[in-house]
């Protein structure tokens, strides 16, 4: 056997082994769209916890029980689905890409609203200053 054929055979075998499913698809697999929503909510809740833990604590919100109840899943279903998607890098990347895009859109929306509020406050302050200056010049 020539070296080229041997290398081609090894590459072919390698590709076949990569195509094998190492983790079996769980019977109760969470669909990709639902998993995307769950991971988005987890990102928001974990951010809230890291920024101001008392918000969740004061409202008696425990992140994972809240997620399980909201989406009608249990911990085993979530873990098994997460492991399954993690074993399929392209699927996992697609899910996290959607989560990231949604977070970015939300961030842009909030920043736009913040700028609008700041502009309104600035305009009101300027208007008030002009009114006060007008009163001073009359007196």
pLDDT > 80? residue 10: no
Residues 6 or more apart whose CB falls under 8 angstroms from that of 104 comprise none
Mind listing the pLDDT tens digit for each residue in 77-124? 999 999 999 999 999 999 999 999 999 999 899 899 989 888 888 888
Give a yes or no: residue 78 inside a domain.
yes
φ and ψ of 20, to 5 deg: -65, 145
- The pLDDT value recorded for residue 8 is 54
Segments forming the whole domain that contains residue 81 = 22-107
Q: Provide the number of structural domains found in the chain.
A: 1
Mind listing the pLDDT tens digit for each residue in 47-79? 888 899 888 888 888 999 999 999 999 999 999
Local confidence band at 135 (pLDDT 50, 70, 90 cut-offs): low
Give a yes or no: residue 8 inside a domain.
no
Higher pLDDT, 125 or 88: 88
Output the pTM of the full model. Answer: 0.69
Higher pLDDT, 136 or 63: 63
Give a yes or no: residue 57 inside a domain.
yes
Give a yes or no: residue 73 inside a domain.
yes
83 token code pair? 């492991």
pLDDT > 70? residue 5: no
User: CB 28: neighbour CB atoms within 10 A?
Assistant: 10
Give a yes or no: residue 5 inside a domain.
no
User: CB 39: neighbour CB atoms within 10 A?
Assistant: 20
pLDDT > 70? residue 128: yes
Categorise residue 94: left if φ over 0, alpha if ψ from -120 to 50, beta otherwise.
alpha
Residue with tokens 């699927």: 91
Give a yes or no: residue 125 inside a domain.
no
- The pLDDT value recorded for residue 36 is 97
- The pLDDT value recorded for residue 125 is 83
Give a yes or no: residue 92 inside a domain.
yes
What is the DSSP secondary-structure string of 69-95?
HHHT--HHHHHHHHHHHHTSHHHHHHH
CA distances from 25 to 77, 85, 98, 130, 133 (A): 11, 9, 22, 68, 72
Give a yes or no: residue 30 inside a domain.
yes
């Amino acid at each position: 056997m020539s070296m080229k054929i041997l290398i081609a055979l090894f590459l072919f075998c390698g590709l076949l082994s990569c195509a094998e499913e190492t983790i079996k698809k769980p019977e109760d697999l969470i669909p990709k769209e639902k998993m995307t929503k769950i991971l988005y909510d987890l990102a928001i809740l974990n951010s809230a916890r890291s920024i101001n833990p008392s918000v969740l604590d004061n409202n008696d919100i425990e992140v994972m029980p809240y997620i399980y109840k909201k989406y009608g899943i249990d911990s085993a279903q979530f873990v098994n689905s997460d492991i399954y998607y993690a074993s399929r890098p392209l699927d996992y990347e697609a899910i996290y890409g959607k989560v990231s895009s949604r977070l970015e859109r939300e961030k842009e929306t909030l920043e736009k609203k913040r700028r609008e509020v700041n502009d309104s406050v600035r305009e009101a302050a300027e208007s008030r200053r002009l009114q006060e200056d007008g009163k001073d010049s009359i007196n």
